[in-house]
Amino acid sequence: MIHSTDLATKEATAETNTSPVKLQPGLEGVVLSETRLSRVDGERGELILAGYPLEEIAPRATYEEMVFLLWTGQLPDALELDQLHGDLASRREIPAITLELLRQAAGRKVKPMDALRMAVASLELCDDPPPSRFEGEALSVVARIPGLVATYARLRRGEEPIAPRLDLGHSASLLYQLHGKAPEAAAIRALDTYLATVIDHGANASTFAARVIISTRADIISALVGALGALKGPLHGGAPGPALDMVFEIATPERAEPVLRAKLAAGERLMGFGHRVYKVRDPRAEVLGREAERLFGQSGDSALYDLVRHVEKVALALLAEHKPGRRLETNVEFYTALLLHGLGIKSDHFTPIFAMGRAAGWIAHCREQQALDRLIRPRLHYVGAVNRSFIDLALRAKTATAP
Ligand code: ACO
């Protein structure tokens, strides 16, 4: 059955087929809408989060403060922060259905990001009655992600999950449930800095996916599940694990150049370098690099930190030589890998931790998109065949030709 809207689209497509069309592959440079959440300046290497320069706010704010900022436009006062902390902590428990799902997934060695996607999807089933208000739903998802990530990490290594402690903040709660002991202040600060750094970043692929889904007036869980799917890919949030693997493969400073040269000669991309928007060093790499320096400096083991800095230097020189004029610089994922490794997190859990940080940003974008209430629906320029005649099945094998 052909709907009138389809007909309208066909007519429009026929028109565009006869007139020149300006395509924007990857929607590069296309402005989707206005936002108050973050401003990304790719030429100057600047990131503003709801008015605050990244370098100013990320090393000082807690994740809860960032959530409040993105969801309300203001930093909280002490009372508001206390209230948000309580709202999140009281929702931390993982529902029985989701826990069972994670156990089954661990038994089948499902990858952590796939397990997180399934677990978040299952939250729809868990609350009785389900929270109807956007706020309740949003809080429940954000509150539960650290527990989902930590629980799955433990199940994967054959350990029992640890129940959440309600007195701990968001970052501390993840580290406690992951490692089974109360984390040190430096580790909590490092994770808060990381989560604050990645909480939002313009119309990146996963945020765009969330906006598309919520623009259909679907629910927040669906939007987050779509965003998680988009985040997983190696060109987006899936890069830090491979970035660290690359550093471990290099192992010693003198091997950096031959190993990286071989990768580039084989046509591989160096993970943690290059960005669609940043044509200078990603400011998030700077903030996370400094945090990693602090963390590794305090632990007294700076060998890995020094190796990473050396690999970065060599990689940048080789990228400039291999792809002259492309302006491939260090992106957020390179130092994400180092920092999360320093917090005792295994590389296959880097992307789920990224999702933990970005979740509140996705939700803030969903709110902005809901306020716009405009279905996101771009067009495609049709370049396929036209005026083909239908051939009955019995005759098709002999006569049909490939388009
Ligand atoms: N290593 C080697 N070559 C690269 C790299 C890299 N890391 N990044 C881009 N290039 C090359 C491309 O092959 C391309 O070469 P060509 O023009 O000769 O074909 C050229 O540089 C331009 O690259 P594009 O594909 O146009 O860049 P785009 O804007 O699409 O890609 C991206 C950005 C996906 C991040 C890319 O730089 C990349 O794949 N980097 C490695 C993966 C990575 O670090 N991802 C995390 C990104 S940060 C985030 O999403 C949170």
pLDDT in tens, the chain (403 residues): 334 344 344 444 444 455 678 899 899 889 999 999 999 999 999 999 999 999 999 999 999 999 999 999 999 999 999 999 999 999 999 999 999 999 999 999 999 999 999 999 998 767 655 555 677 889 999 999 999 999 999 999 999 999 999 999 999 999 999 999 999 999 999 999 999 999 999 999 999 999 999 999 999 999 999 999 999 998 999 888 999 999 999 999 999 999 999 999 999 999 999 999 999 999 999 999 999 999 998 876 789 999 999 999 999 999 999 999 999 999 999 999 999 999 999 999 999 999 999 999 999 999 999 999 999 999 999 999 999 999 999 888 765 555 5
- Count of CB atoms situated within 10 Å of the CB of 45: 20
Q: How far is the CA of 188 from the centre of ligand 1 (A)?
A: 32
Residues comprising the chain, all counted: 403
Kindly state if the Cβ of 237 falls inside 6 Å of ligand 1: yes
User: Hey, whose CA ends up nearest to atom 44 of ligand 1?
Assistant: 272
Report how far residue 274's alpha carbon sits from residue 309's, in angstroms, rounded to the nearest whole number.
17
Q: Which of 89, 118, 125, 47 is nearest to 361 (CA)?
A: 47
d(CA 53, ligand 1 centre) in Å: 25
Any atom of ligand 1 within 6 Å of the Cβ of 332 = yes
Give the DSSP H or E segment for 336: helix 332-342
The span from the CA of 144 to the CA of 197, in Å, is: 20
pLDDT score of 20:
75
Q: How far is the CA of 234 from the centre of ligand 1 (A)?
A: 10
Instruction: Supply φ then ψ for residue 48, to 5 degrees.
Output: -110, 130
In short, whether 211's Cβ falls inside 6 Å of ligand 1 is no
Q: What is the pLDDT of residue 398?
A: 63
- 165 C-beta closer than 6 A to ligand 1: no
Q: Which atom of ligand 1 is nearest to the CA of 272?
A: 44
Does the beta carbon of 236 sit less than 6 angstroms from any atom of ligand 1?
Answer: yes
Active site residues: 275, 333
Mutate to test the pocket of ligand 1, among 204, 314, 323, 353 (most ligand atoms within 8 A of CB): 323
What pLDDT shows up at residue 6? 42
**Atom of ligand 1 minimally distant from the CA of 28:** 29
Q: Can you spell out the DSSP letters for 238-305?
A: T-HHHHHHHHHHH-SGGGHHHHHHHHHHTTPPPTTB--SS-SS--HHHHHHHHHHHHHHHHHT--HHH
Task: Name which residue sits closest to atom 41 of ligand 1, judged by CA.
Answer: 271
pLDDT for the residue numbered 240: 87
Residue nearest ligand 1's atom 31 by CA: 276
Index of the ligand 1 atom closest to the CA of residue 243: 44
pLDDT at site 101: 97
By most ligand atoms within 8 Å of CB, the mutation choice from 207, 259, 275, 284 for ligand 1 is: 275
- Dist. CA 285–CA 307, nearest whole Å: 16
Q: Helix 185-198 and helix 350-372: axis angle, to 10°? A: 40
Q: Candidates 273, 277, 279, 327: which one to mutate for ligand 1, based on the most atoms within 8 Å of Cβ? A: 273
What is the structure's pLDDT at 293? 93
